[in-house]
Amino acid sequence: MVTKIFNNTKRAFALKSDKDLKKALWIFTLMNKGPLVDIGTRATNFALSIHLPIEGLIKKTIFDMFCGGVSKEDSLDIIKKMHEMHVHSVLDYSSEGKETEKEFDKAMNIKMGLIRFAKEHGEIPFTVFKPTGVGRFAIWEKVSAEETLTQKEQKEWENIQKRVDNICKLAHELGIRILADAEESWMQNAADDLLEEMMSKYNQEEIIVYNTLQCYRWDRLQYIKDLHKRAKNKGFKIGVKIVRGAYMEKENERASKKDYPTPICEDKEATDVNFNAVLYYAMQHLDEINLYIGTHNEVSNYLAMQLMDEKDIAKDDDRIWFSQLFGMSDHISFNLGLNGYNAAKLVPFGPVRDVIPYLIRRAQENSSVKGQTGRELALLREEKKRRDGQFVKRIA
């Protein structure tokens, strides 16, 4: 029987000072008001467009809440503090929206630098890259649709393949696992195929390369079953990160506009069922599929813990990792880590101006996910009440 562990706020917020706790309460209170997030997003984008110096304000508020620092070295302090609480880190350089070959080469070199950095720091067992961070979205989209590429586009696609291979090859050489993010469905076929090729090259013995499955897509259970069959036939192993997904509104809008069946599950309940089914399938085949569980959903985390208990799998079995985003669901991450499970935080970093698109997306997702921000607020308030009570006892 799995013990309920996620209500321990003392453990969850041990790294937050009283000042940090109050700031987190303020930020999540604002995020709980959808209209304020919309207004703030528009105001931020406008301020950036006319080059107002707003980085300082952002740095002291939402940046410090959801990012480790402006550089990987700047992030080491929080990484080490989390590791003392048995929570590992996955560093992610969160610059987005690049378009040139020079920028994509730079992004590849940054990712490879992070792999080397992770090798030097045992607190960082995984690294991560975004497929469209190393190549134009339009190229991924055309290859996914099996459209004919121009000569220039063919060269771009060859460059993308080389960049992804360079990243995965170095990860393999240094023994650092690499997670590839999933993106919009209309570019994902090309990414899935290329990541499968990388797995066939680099997951022969040890599992290094992980692809991400967005389980709000109703086809992902069948996808992992089919991938598993191909992997057994070809003699390689599978790494999967499972998440619910981040592009639901965009996916449904495009499907409606272009008049094709949406790839997204019909509602949250169906998504939950699909996520848990993919989780269950991977758990049944851990000798061939390693699992990185990226979710803020308490029920799914408890399900994974229960399955591990039923199958007599050690809490720290390296084939299973739990992960949440830095600045969110600390009640899950730290309670998992301190109870002996493999826990990690995805820790974004980068210059403030470069990571603003990421921060805006975090704010929008927090305000749109039903119950997410309310749960965070309730736990933060509970911890503040607990600390206030402790203070009263000390002065009594």
Give pLDDT, residue 122: 93
Please identify which residue in the block is written with the tokens 């309460």.
25
Domains, the chain, ranges and CATH? 9-388 (3.20.20.220)
Helix (H) or strand (E) holding 103, with range, is: helix 101-120
| CB neighbour list of residue 294: distance below 8 Å, 6 or more residues apart | 212, 241, 242, 243, 323, 324, 346
Residue 51 has pLDDT above 90, yes or no: no
Q: What is the helix (H) or strand (E) element at residue 189, kind and residue range?
A: helix 185-202
Q: What is the pLDDT of residue 32?
A: 72
CA atoms within 13 A on the CB side of 269: 0
| Beta-bridge partners for 240 | 211, 291
80 pLDDT more than 80: yes
pLDDT of residue 365: 58
Q: In the prediction, which pLDDT does 351 show?
A: 87
Question: How deeply is 47 buried, as exposed, middle or buried, from its count of CB atoms within 10 A (0-12, 13-18, 19+)?
Answer: middle
Give the whole-angstrom CA distance, residue 384 versus residue 377. Answer: 10
Predicted local confidence at residue 39, as pLDDT:
54
The C-alpha R_g of the chain, in whole angstroms, comes to 21
Contact 198, 209 (CB under 8 A): yes
End-to-end, the C-alpha distance of the chain in Å comes to: 40
User: Is 380:25 a contact under the CB 8 Å cutoff?
Assistant: yes
Does the pLDDT of residue 269 top 70, yes or no? yes
The Cα angle at residue 232 between residues 231 and 234, in degrees rounded to 5: 65
pLDDT (mean) for 303-319: 97
Q: Are 332 and 366 in contact (CB under 8 A)?
A: no
Count of C-beta atoms within a 10 Å radius of residue 343? 23
Q: Is the pTM of this model over 0.75?
A: yes
Residue with tokens 């990012």: 67
Residue type, 96: E
Give bridge partners of residue 93 from the DSSP assignment.
349
Question: What residues contact 293, with CB distance under 8 A and at least 6 apart?
Answer: 241, 242, 279, 300, 301, 304, 320, 321, 322, 323
pLDDT at 40 over 60: no
Q: Phi/psi at 128 (nearest 5 deg)? A: -145, 150
Distance CA 10, CA 91 (A): 26
| pLDDT, tens digit (0-9, with 9 covering 90-100), for 240-251 | 999 998 888 899
Predicted local distance difference test score (pLDDT) of residue 100: 94
Query: Tens of pLDDT along 362-394?
Result: 665 554 455 567 888 899 999 999 998 875 566
Report the percentage of the chain scoring pLDDT > 70. 88
pLDDT of 169 higher than 80: yes
What is the predicted pLDDT for the residue at 368?
Answer: 47
Q: E strands of the chain, at which residues?
A: 87-93, 126-129, 177-180, 209-214, 238-243, 289-294, 320-325, 343-349
Report the pLDDT averaged over residues 191-216.
97
Burial class for 313, CB neighbours closer than 10 Å (0-12, 13-18, 19+): middle
For residue 13, give both structure tokens.
């917020």
- 3-class SS of residue 90: strand
| Contact (CB, 8 A) for 35 and 358 | no
Edge-first strand order for the sheet with 238-243 is 87-93, 343-349, 320-325, 289-294, 238-243, 209-214, 177-180, 126-129
- DSSP secondary structure letter of residue 217: B
Q: Is the pLDDT of residue 357 over 80?
A: no
Rounded to 5 degrees, φ, ψ at 32 are -75, -10
Give CA–CA dist 320/348, Å, rounded. Answer: 22
